[in-house]
Structure 1
Amino acid sequence: MLLILWMPLAQGHIFSKHIDLSEPNLPAIRKLLIAALDSKKTTDSLYINLESIKNRSALLTGYMGALEALKAKHTWNPYFKIKYLNDCEKTFAKAVTRDPHNIEIRFMRFSIEHNVPNFLGYNNNLVTDRQEIIRQVDNQYYAQADKLLVKTIISFLIESKRCTLGEITDLKKHLASL
């Protein structure tokens, strides 16, 4: 399960191991999440830091869901892979319920479900997430997502081959206008 969703954001950044997450800093969390794609240690550390935050926002809850998916990626034990994916699914359900129009939450869940093998059955939200992401792109409502992240989201949707030709045409227009 490769989560390459944030890779374009990683180019040119240096990851600090001493980022203080007591005050959530979204750019720092995003950078650490990119590093966590290939590091069990970073995944576990970021998970512990975010878990310690009381009254997490819907977006931080979404990051927790992404980290649970990464925990599944990094473990060798099949039981724990399924356990972490189940946790991920529940965590994303909470995040989406709390902020159903957040493009970043929807994108994280979409990209994870896109990359999990179909036979595992963790792809129930692909269509609704795709539709919601496209609706938010059309409305130019990006929540806390910056321009680079929005470009990454649009490019990922196009490359996922899960969009209709009409959606791809519209997404390419939005991408060109950013």
Structure 2
Amino acid sequence: MRIFLKIILAIFIPLNIFGGDNDIIKVRNLYYKASEDKDEAEKFYDHLKTSPSISPNLLVGYKGMSYMIKANYSWNPYNKLSFFLKGKDLLDNAIVKEPTNIELRFLRYCVQTNAPSFLAYSSKTKEDKAVILYGYSMLKDGDLKDRIKNYMNNPKYCSIEERNLF
């Protein structure tokens, strides 16, 4: 019986330890797909309601992103604006609680660099970019580093000197 218990523990404990990493990667993948397809956007929104095993504040940030993506696919102007504002509030509040979280800053930077100017949601781009550039080299999450590097290597977002930091 003890051997059986040890085998079960040996199998399931590592899965729980690494489950969080897989959850955040799944959330990121769903986010990227959601930005390209309306059905994927619904899957992303629904997945976040199941409370994946990621930090609570990061979950709030991604929930904010899901609302902003829903705004993108909404045809009703009132719904579009209300989804966007709800998402903006969630993401901004997550950043207020954790201002040095590079992933949250990166999410907001992505939105701000792509949001229509009439939404007036670009006031923190320089601040977010500075946090991303400063903290990038200290990131231990290779998946996140790759995603940031791929996005920021666009000349539209970074100078040659800044791109060399990646």
Are the aligned partners of 2:61 and 2:90 in contact in 1 as well (CA < 8 Å)?
Answer: yes
Residue 161 of structure 1: aligned partner? 156
Are the aligned partners of 2:61 and 2:94 in contact in 1 as well (CA < 8 Å)?
Answer: yes
RMSD between superposed Cα atoms in Å: 2.4
* 1:152 counterpart = 2:150: no
Shift of 1:125: 1.5
Query: Structure 1, residues 82-103: CA drift from partner, whole Å, max 9, x if none?
Result: 1111111101112102221111
Q: Distance in 2 between matches of 1:158 and 1:45?
A: 29
Cα pair distance change 1:47/1:92, threshold 3 Å: same
Residue 5 of structure 2: aligned partner? none
> What is the SS of the residue equivalent to 1:159?
coil
In structure 2, stretches of 5+ residues that fail to align are: 1-18
Residue 66 of structure 2: aligned partner? 67
Q: Distance in 1 between matches of 2:132 and 2:75?
A: 32
Are the aligned partners of 2:30 and 2:43 in contact in 1 as well (CA < 8 Å)?
Answer: no
Matches within 5 A, 1:94-173: 94-137=93-136, 140-142=137-139, 146-159=141-154, 161-163=156-158, 165=159, 168-172=160-164
Shift of 1:126: 1.0
- Considering Cα pairs closer than 8 Å and 6+ residues apart, tell me whether 1 or 2 has the greater RCO: 1
Q: TM-score, normalised by structure 1?
A: 0.70
- Greater Rg over alpha carbons, structure: 2
Q: Distance in 2 between matches of 1:42 and 1:141?
A: 32
Shift of 1:39: 2.5
Q: Which has the higher helix share?
A: 2
Residue 26 of structure 1: aligned partner? 24
Q: Distance in 1 between matches of 2:63 and 2:112?
A: 15
Matched to 1:98, the amino acid is K
Q: Distance in 1 between matches of 2:29 and 2:157?
A: 27
Aligned length: 145
Shift of 1:67: 0.8
In structure 1, stretches of 5+ residues that fail to align are: 1-22
* Stretches (4+) displaced over 3 A: none
Provide the identity percentage: 27
Are the aligned partners of 2:34 and 2:69 in contact in 1 as well (CA < 8 Å)?
Answer: yes
Query: Structure 1, residues 29-84: CA drift from partner, whole Å, max 9, x if none?
Result: 11222221223233223223313439961111111111111101111111111111
